[in-house]
Amino acid sequence: MQLRSLTRSMVWRGGVAVAASLLTAGLAVAGEPDRGVLVLTSTNDPGSNQVLVYQLEPGDTPTLSLVQTLPTGGQGGASGNAGILQMSDDFGAVANYGSSNVTQLVREGDFIQVRGQIKLASGCSKPDSVALTPEQLFVVGANCVESHAWPSGTPDGTVVHLTDTSAAQVVVGKTWGAVTFTSGAVDQVGLTSWGVLSGSVASVALPANANNTPLGAAFWGDILGFDPAHSADSFALVDAQRNVYPVAGPTPSYPGNAPCWIAKGPGNVWYTGNSPGQAISIFFSDGKGGAFYKSVALPGVPTDITVSKDRNRCVRRPDAGSDVGPRRGLRVQRCSDQRVEGCP
């Protein structure tokens, strides 16, 4: 593995994207041109986990209205994690940390239904992040990474057993996957040629300036982007050969700023949810480096982030300590209202 120098000068030719800041419990967006746009989040309730479904009401002043509250049939309770709820086309998954299973969701028209429960592999427990590809569900928890055929939920591939219990997020690229650990580590997990876990795992050697509290992660093809949130270099790229390219983040660094959650935007743009900075912090990159662009201020504290497919609307949610209740806190606006824009 090699540590490469940064590429500081980046040119962005992509369009304006959409960012959304939501609960740590997890967020997913589902929508098509001929159907309404739905925004889903998990309550992560340790007593009885639920999925809240909001529908976008378009117009000059778009809003989100709560239209469904669905018990998952399991218990929440995860913390220090990202990606606990994901949607892909008409199917989705939400992890139930407290009951050690995953609830499968299905979209029918403008409604979401619970399809059933997916059991974890024997000996695996406390799932706190899921990832979806067209044919696979990936789940990480306290002691395992596993893959299941999708949407059947049948166990598939080789379970990877973990010794670090601080797994934060699982994400999957074209030829490999990754798990971030808040303890200060990132693991590369191997995929077979047909996209299931091969059973191989290798540690990514992180430099001292980019190894404090890795949390959110996303792929751009086969390039992993992740947030070592409490480091001075609070964004980093990793390629398939486990080369690491750290990128300096907003200043001052933690505790003043801490990009914790990440979503891949258009082209070479990455959006991160910066909780202490109360902002969306934006990075540009190529395959071997990147640069911090700017932070877009928010009136609340973002605690997760996603990018909608149509790239026309921004959704945000303050944390539970703000003056907006958990069922009324989702807000939507045009991206231009937050002045998220490309390089001059």
The domains of the chain are located at: 20-338
Distances (CA, A) of 268 to 55, 210, 215, 263: 29, 20, 20, 12
Estimate to the nearest angstrom the gap between the alpha carbon of 142 and the chain centroid.
18
pLDDT at 27: 65
Estimate to the nearest angstrom the gap between the alpha carbon of 115 and the chain centroid.
23
CA-closest candidate to residue 293, choices 5, 10, 3: 10
pLDDT at 62: 76
CA-closest candidate to residue 327, choices 89, 29, 43, 82: 43
CB atoms within 10 A of CB 36: 14
Task: For the chain, give the mean pLDDT.
Answer: 85
Residue-wise DSSP of 57-70: E-SSS-EEEEEEEE
Q: Kindly state the average pLDDT of the residues 244-253.
A: 98
Residues with Cβ < 8 Å from 122, sequence gap 6 or more? none
pLDDT in tens, 163-215: 999 999 999 999 999 999 999 999 999 999 999 999 999 999 999 999 999 99
Q: Kindly state the average pLDDT of the residues 321-340.
A: 41
CATH number of this structure's domain 20-338: 2.130.10.10
CA-closest candidate to residue 343, choices 274, 306, 290, 301: 290
Q: Kindly state the average pLDDT of the residues 224-236.
A: 98
* The residue type at 217: A
Q: Would you mind telling me the total number of residues written for the chain in this entry?
A: 344
pLDDT in tens, 69-93: 999 999 999 999 999 999 998 999 9
Greater pLDDT, 321 or 136: 136
Cβ–Cβ under 8 Å, residues 56 and 31: yes
**The pLDDT of residue 10 is above 60:** no
pLDDT band at 310 (very low <50, low <70, confident <90, very high): low
Interatomic CA distance for residues 235 and 214, integer angstroms:
9
CB atoms within 10 A of CB 103: 24
Interatomic CA distance for residues 213 and 25, integer angstroms:
18
**The pLDDT of residue 269 is above 90:** yes
pLDDT band at 319 (very low <50, low <70, confident <90, very high): low
- The neighbouring-strand residues paired with 11 are none
Greater pLDDT, 48 or 299: 48
Q: Kindly state the average pLDDT of the residues 32-45.
A: 84
Q: Kindly state the average pLDDT of the residues 34-59.
A: 90
